[in-house]
A and B are shown apart, each in its own frame.
Chain A
């Protein structure tokens, strides 16, 4: 399966600032996704990162808060904007290999703490 590198691994940020998380895959993948996992909760899909076009956001998530870039088939970024303590979470990049019904594989995650 693809090797997914995500950085930073963790960060502590002040409220009102923004953080950009990077996700690099060692091979071209069709589907890239960004998930959030709040403390004690299940993984929640934020958006699907589309190559060459705007990301597709899930209900409850908006582009102004979570802008996403996907300039090519191996790289994506997620920005958490104007952060508040409620944004403290693990953020995960994931990819699917493109075959129908193929499983998701996850990056190593970014643990974000907003103070």
Chain B
């Protein structure tokens, strides 16, 4: 059974700080690892990673995958209050898409 563990479960930082969110996984027949940002209800797609060691970047957000150690990190630099959300990690494998419970990130002004 595919499994995704995210840490920390919640995180409170001040505006301007840099945060690193972690996602470790177990999967049969790895296809992809995805990151989503969930504000209120709808998850918004951030990144899809399929290859180790290749950083994906979008503005202040970046992510990288390590397929040997079975984890990914999501970095957010110069955080803003609008970054407050639940960040979901999902793994695509033989079981389809399996989601972690998310990291609840709170950015304090």
Judged by a CB distance under 8 angstroms, whether B8 is at the interface is no
Q: Which of A41, A44, A90, A104 interacts with B41 by CB under 8 Å?
A: A90
Q: Please tell me if the beta carbons of B32 and A42 are within 8 angstroms of each other in the complex.
A: no
What CA separation (Å) do A101 and B91 show in the bound complex? 11
Q: Please tell me if the beta carbons of B99 and A109 are within 8 angstroms of each other in the complex.
A: no
A residues bordering B, Cβ < 8 Å? 1, 40-45, 90, 92, 101, 103-111
Q: Which of B42, B50, B96 interacts with A101 by CB under 8 Å?
A: B50
How many residues from B make CB contacts under 8 Å with A? Answer: 22
Given contacts A92-B41, A103-B32, 4 further A-B contacts (CB under 8 A): A42-B4, A42-B102, A104-B90, A107-B42
Judged by a CB distance under 8 angstroms, whether B54 is at the interface is no
Q: What residues of B have a CB within 8 angstroms of the CB of A101 in the complex?
A: 31-32, 48, 50, 92
Q: Which of A1, A40, A43, A44 interacts with B43 by CB under 8 Å?
A: A43
What CA separation (Å) do A40 and B44 show in the bound complex? 18
Q: Please tell me if the beta carbons of B99 and A42 are within 8 angstroms of each other in the complex.
A: yes
Q: What residues of B have a CB within 8 angstroms of the CB of A1 in the complex?
A: 45
Judged by a CB distance under 8 angstroms, whether B101 is at the interface is yes
Q: What residues of B have a CB within 8 angstroms of the CB of A109 in the complex?
A: 40-42
